[in-house]
Amino acid sequence: MPKVNKEILTPDPKNANRGTEQGAEKLRDSLQEYGGGRSILVDRDGTIIAGNKTYEAARKLGLPIQIIETNGESIVAVKRVDLSIEDQKGRALAYADNRVAELDLDWDTDQITEDFEAEIGDVDRLFDTWNFDALTGKQTGEVEDNHGEWQGMPAFDNPGIKPYRSIKVSFATMEDFEAFVELIDQPIGENERSIFFPEQEVTAQIGYRVQSDDEEEEEKEG
């Protein structure tokens, strides 16, 4: 398998992952200590689709890169003939691979928004409305009937209760959701998007509505 000059590859100029200093440091350490693991994916012109940070680290360390051509109809598996998952080094690489990917992720929200608005990259499929809004600080979802949205979830925005802390909990399966409901011993309605734990007595939401920013400003000035 031929080795090629690493300079032929071009980093993605619109990579939505800015990376982090800590992630870059851990990635270089991993490559130096355990060698290469996760591959780099490039398009037909040599521009990187995935693995931009790995490429940057490999270039700084002077590591050669091997190109394997494929049309995407099969999966390329990288076989490390010098490692075993039962060995200390093999297991350490498994941890390093997952941990570095976690540490080296820093979303570029401007790039994600640009791609979202241009309807490219399937951003709308990869980020649901709530995740996208939380990530970018923008509101993309529309609520036509606020009172209808509140039906069945009185704790959604009760003016008399202020939470100490709020977190988002996601469930991979219905079984996981049902196990969570059983664990907290608290009912969660079908339309409910927010709850208090332990359950609180709340006032009715009838008569409340969401104000726009302009309305809030006018109310303050008045």
Residue 12, pLDDT above cutoff 60:
yes
Residue with tokens 């190109």: 67
pLDDT at 161: 61
Nearest to 13 by CA among 93, 111, 107, 104: 111
Radius of gyration of the chain (CA): 24
- Which two structure tokens, joined as six digits, stand for 161? 């209760």
**What pLDDT shows up at residue 89?**
96
Average pLDDT value for residue range 180-193: 82
pLDDT score for 147: 47
pLDDT of residue 204: 47
User: Which residue in this structure is represented by tokens 């490559």?
Assistant: 31
In terms of Cβ atoms closer than 10 Å to its own Cβ (0-12, 13-18, 19+), residue 76 is: exposed
* Mean pLDDT estimate for the chain: 80
Is residue 92's pLDDT more than 80?
A: yes
**Greater model confidence, 138 or 83:** 83
**Does position 183 have pLDDT exceeding 70, yes or no?**
yes
Residue with the larger pLDDT of the pair 128 and 63:
63
DSSP 8-class letter at 76: P
Higher-pLDDT residue of 162, 6:
162
Decide if pLDDT at 206 tops 70.
no
- Closest C-alpha among 136, 140, 159 to residue 210: 159
Mean pLDDT (whole number) for 186-209: 66
Highest mean pLDDT pick, 75-79, 149-153, 210-214 = 75-79
- Pick the more confident residue, 194 or 103: 103
Which residues fall within 8 angstroms of residue 200, CB to CB, at 6 or more apart?
155, 158, 161
Contact 152, 195 (CB under 8 A): no
Q: How confident is the model at residue 98 (pLDDT cuts 50, 70, 90)?
A: very high
